[in-house]
Amino acid sequence: MLSEYVKKTPKSLSLYGIASRMMPYGVSSNYRYLPPYPLYLVKGKGSKVWDVDGNVYIDFNMAYGALGIGHSHPKLVKALKERFENSSILGFEFADTIKLAKIIKIRYNVDMVRFSSTGTEATMHAIRIARAYTKRKKIIKFEGHYHGSHDQLLVNVSPDKEGEKSVCSHGIPEDIVKYTLVAEWNNYDSVERIVRKDGNDIAAIIMEPVAMNMGIIEPDVSFLKGIFNLAKEYGILIIFDEVKTGGKYYSGASGYYGLKPDLITLGKAIAGGLPLSVIAGRKEIMSVIGPEKTAHGGTFNANPLSVVASIVTLTQILTQDSFYEVYKLNSLLSKGYKDLVEDLDIDITAVTWGASGTIFFSNYLPRNYREFLRIDKRIWYKYFWLMLSKGIIPMADYDEEWTISTQHNKEDIIKHLEVAEEVLRKIKSG
């Protein structure tokens, strides 16, 4: 399974030997390490990336969805070159930040915004703002949902056992997560039980409105509506973590479902691959931010490069017309997998949402993390390494999804499916 990958990537192996002596596991993020060693890339252009050995891959990971515009989009490259000549950071507020705030306000139907650099920062600040506004301590999150790598929400992201509260990292004291309550996705009763018990001390319910860290699992509409009604009854804020979903549809999941949460966080695709995130929401809630009130700061918040990148991305590249073309390609890829399932009689379920999709190596579509946990991920890893060795990065990991960018084309989809057919036949034959 790994022999072809090892044969094609000797320089990645060599770099890993050097890097691992200076950086734990040779990477700057735990999610970039896959045994036996990580893949080291040197450049990306359009829908493709190149590794240190010169191998070319059609990239469907697209930096975990951050590159909805593809690699090195010409419009963005031009704008960033011009901006860089006038400083990458100014220390004081960059004037064009106001223009970007207006764009996001209209596109995502929010009252006020604040900018940070990463999704982790955005969700961390969002729960702080919710606590400051409600003057309550507790937060409800959902099993299998990922909201960045800060202590308070690294709970039950990927627990090995059902029904147990599980902290997902060493170094997090139990006292820090005692105010984090865990509910089951698509199970309204599990949320209601918690709220009926602790509702007067719950500041917010935070969720990925479409779960995208266990493949793709959409919410039941009745589930979402029930939570909104329950939250309103108890004065609990709803936070949509749209760091992923905000770049999959034109107005994100809140626009897709026609809902207006109290707060949303955005990141990844909205700045074309540069570090920028957003905390946004109702004016009266956002107004708790300020000097001698609720803390929010950061030297690189709304830096000029990221601001310009986001303005160009949202107004010139990730347009409604471009999304329409992306959706057509995504449907073509999904249909191709469904056709392969019929032809090969193999247990795979394909699902899409917006610009992304995934496959589950099962004969059913999971509705929550517990059902997702029962799927044998060993088959996915066979699929991944075989796809990678044949020049296709299908997605980043078994709990992730592919992203179709504005620079993918029909030929990329056809090649993906040709390789997938070869790989799946090999897996089926054992």
The pLDDT-based confidence of 175 (bands split at 50, 70, 90) is confident
The pLDDT-based confidence of 180 (bands split at 50, 70, 90) is very high
Cis peptide bond upstream of 394, omega within 30: no
Backbone angles phi, psi at 91, to 5 degrees: 85, -45
Q: pLDDT digits over 238-289, tens only?
A: 999 999 999 999 999 999 999 999 999 999 999 999 999 999 999 999 999 9
66 contact partners, CB below 8 Å, separation of at least 6: 247, 267, 268, 269, 273
For residue 26 the two structure tokens come to: 């040779």
Cα(272)–Cα(396) distance, rounded to whole angstroms? 18
Q: State which amino acid sits at residue 167.
A: V
pLDDT value of residue 161: 63
| 268: nearest Cα among 33, 62, 105, 30 | 62
Cα(46)–Cα(145) distance, rounded to whole angstroms? 30
CA dihedral 216, 221, 223, 229 (to 10 degrees): 130
Helix (H, G, I), strand (E, B) or coil at 358: strand
The pLDDT-based confidence of 163 (bands split at 50, 70, 90) is low
Average pLDDT estimate for 80-86: 95
Backbone angles phi, psi at 186, to 5 degrees: 65, 20
188 contact partners, CB below 8 Å, separation of at least 6: 222, 223, 226, 227
Q: Is the pLDDT of residue 168 over 70?
A: yes
Average pLDDT estimate for 25-36: 95
Tell me what percent of the residues of the chain surpass a pLDDT of 70. Answer: 99
pLDDT value of residue 1: 73
Q: pLDDT digits over 385-407, tens only?
A: 999 999 999 999 999 999 999 99
Give the predicted TM-score (pTM) of the model. Answer: 0.96
User: Which domains does the chain possess?
Assistant: 3-68+319-429 (3.90.1150.10), 74-317 (3.40.640.10)
Q: pLDDT digits over 199-224, tens only?
A: 999 999 999 999 999 999 999 999 99
pLDDT value of residue 167: 87
For residue 278 the two structure tokens come to: 């957003």
